[in-house]
């Protein structure tokens, strides 16, 4: 199974900060990677698919990049509603796997 | 409006069975692959199972293989997860999820399954 690691596991930031979260795959997955945001008590929300494509309705301050084994989610200017946990996910092969998550708090 | 509504969760004893259902609306169910994803309390997301739009492929996580069965009824716009031989480690919120171009783009609100004596 392809393993995903995320760093950092948590971070503290302020409104307006630029935030970068990294996801690394244990083997190359091309661009078959998605990013999700989850708030407490809610289901995850798709932010980015195909490594860098912004899901419809998601603010443009979110962006994704990378291919192969190294990927990045960037929030250009953190907003109060962005405090949440972020997960990466690979679709290159079954079993589909998620990263362990990165919690972004104040 | 696209909606996925799960049901069937609850409290069950170890070794018991449950059948989860997910009724969808607002899109053509028969053209999408579907999935179950779970999240144990305070933990991360775990993919459980996938089924293609026409049942041509079905996959399971190793942790549930041989115990869980995914199925769908396109005429009823419904997805199912039959869970047998349940264990304490199966305790989680189970989400029904739509698959669209290598992304899980629509999620239900989830149904809680608790396995405890």
pLDDT digits (tens, 9 = 90+) for A26-80: 999 999 999 999 999 999 999 999 999 999 999 999 999 999 999 999 999 999 9
Residue pLDDT, tens place only, B51-75: 999 989 999 999 999 999 999 999 9
Residue B101 has pLDDT above 90, yes or no: no
Buried b or exposed e, range B11-48, using 16+ CB within 10 angstroms? ebeeeeebebbbbbeebebeebbbbbbbbeeeeebbbb
Please, what is the average pLDDT of chain B? 97
The answer to whether A86 faces chain B, any CB pair under 8 Å, is no
φ/ψ of B31, rounded to 5, equals -105, 0
Q: What pairs with residue B21 in β-bridges? A: B7, B80
Residue A106 has pLDDT above 90, yes or no: no
Two structure tokens written together for B32: 């999408």
The answer to whether A102 faces chain B, any CB pair under 8 Å, is no
8 Å CB contact of B103 and A101: no
The answer to whether A95 faces chain B, any CB pair under 8 Å, is yes
**Contact residues, chain B, for A98 at CB < 8 Å:** 44-47
């Amino acid at each position: 199974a392809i393993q995903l690691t995320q760093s950092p596991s948590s971070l503290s930031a302020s409104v307006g900060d630029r935030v970068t979260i990294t996801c690394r795959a244990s083997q190359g997955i091309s661009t078959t990677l998605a990013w999700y945001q989850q708030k407490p008590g809610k289901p995850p929300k798709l932010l980015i698919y195909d490594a860098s494509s912004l899901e419809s309705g998601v603010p443009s301050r979110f962006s994704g990049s990378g291919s192969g084994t190294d990927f990045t989610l960037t929030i250009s200017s953190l907003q109060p509603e962005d405090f949440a946990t972020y997960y990466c996910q690979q679709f290159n092969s079954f079993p589909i796997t998620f990263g362990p998550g990165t919690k972004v708090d104040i | 409006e696209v909606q996925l509504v799960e049901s069937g969760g609850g409290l069950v004893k170890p070794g018991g069975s449950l059948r989860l259902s997910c009724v969808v609306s607002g899109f053509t169910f028969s053209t999408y692959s579907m999935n179950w994803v779970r999240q144990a309390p305070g933990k991360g997301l775990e993919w459980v199972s996938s089924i293609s739009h026409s049942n041509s492929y079905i996959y399971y996580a190793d942790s549930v293989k041989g115990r869980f069965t995914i199925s769908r009824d396109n005429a009823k716009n419904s997805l199912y997860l039959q869970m047998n031989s349940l264990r304490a480690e199966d305790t989680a919120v189970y989400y029904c999820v739509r698959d669209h171009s290598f992304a899980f783009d629509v999620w239900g609100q989830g149904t809680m399954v608790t396995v405890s004596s």
